[in-house]
Amino acid sequence: MAMIGKEIRLERIMDRNTGRTVIIPMDHGFTLGQIEGLRNMTWIISEVSEGGANAIVLHKGLVKSGHRKHGRDIGLIVHLSAGTSLNPDPNDKVLVCSVEEAVALGADAVSIHINLGALNESRMIESAGQVVKDCNRWGMPLLVMIYPRGKGIDATSPQAVGHCVRVAEELGADLIKTNYTGDTESFRRITRACSVPVLIAGGEKGGDRETLITIEDAVRAGAAGVCMGRNAFQRDNPRQFIQAICRVVHENVAAGEALELQV
């Protein structure tokens, strides 16, 4: 029964025609404070949903701030991990929510954060093991956000990114978010060697065209879409830019054409 629950919930996150997804994480306030783009949560959630995104990521306390109150429906992923930029080790993440709480909130999935190479890597992996157990019990899909982060680690190294993807897969992730390696050939080797969908992270805000080209390249290399926060919600017109992202991910529209269509 639990696996049926996962399948039903994943239908609200993954496009059934393309098998891809556009997820907009909006959990950054916990880490960075009252950042630009996330000051009015009700408004930005509406913009993201009307832009056509498949799902959003929120911490439990913000679910009530606008999710599904009006407008287009959108999938809900509740983030279980947290840490702040004020911590001497900003790569440290701990669990602040449970799968059971996410079920009560009406979540379609949950997500956790792991930094391989961080000082507290072992604790994050241990926590992930417990979350996977609870997800399997409750039929809740799990998005693992996993990155190579630590002293002397290249965050886009194909070897390091591939290691992250393999760890998440072996833990039992249903979806994996990680860094794009920067070229299609190396990323294609990673996606082909993984049995679950791999999504690329957005990172800090970049230019419109630059961001869409990265997404186009990643999808061509086998990415199942994007899980992109600041590169989406910090745009001057987030709704239009997310529409452009969705064209690239779901309609295979070239980056330049997707950008022209939003004007």
Catalytic residues: 27, 147, 177
Residues ≥6 apart with Cβ < 8 Å to 137: 2, 99
Residue 106 CB burial class (10 angstroms; 0-12, 13-18, ≥19): exposed
Buried b / exposed e over 58-82, threshold 16 CB at 10 Å, is bbbebbeebbeeeeeebbbbbbbbb
Question: Residue 160 in contact with residue 128, Cβ under 8 Å?
Answer: no
Between CA 263 and CA 260 the distance in angstroms is 6
Contact residues for 62 (Cβ-Cβ < 8 A; gap 6+): 26, 29, 41
Q: Which token pair is 203?
A: 């990172």
Task: Provide the Cα torsion 252, 74, 38, 248; round to 10°.
Answer: 0
- β partners of residue 22: 226
Instruction: Report angle CA 16, 164, 198 to the nearest 5 degrees.
Output: 15
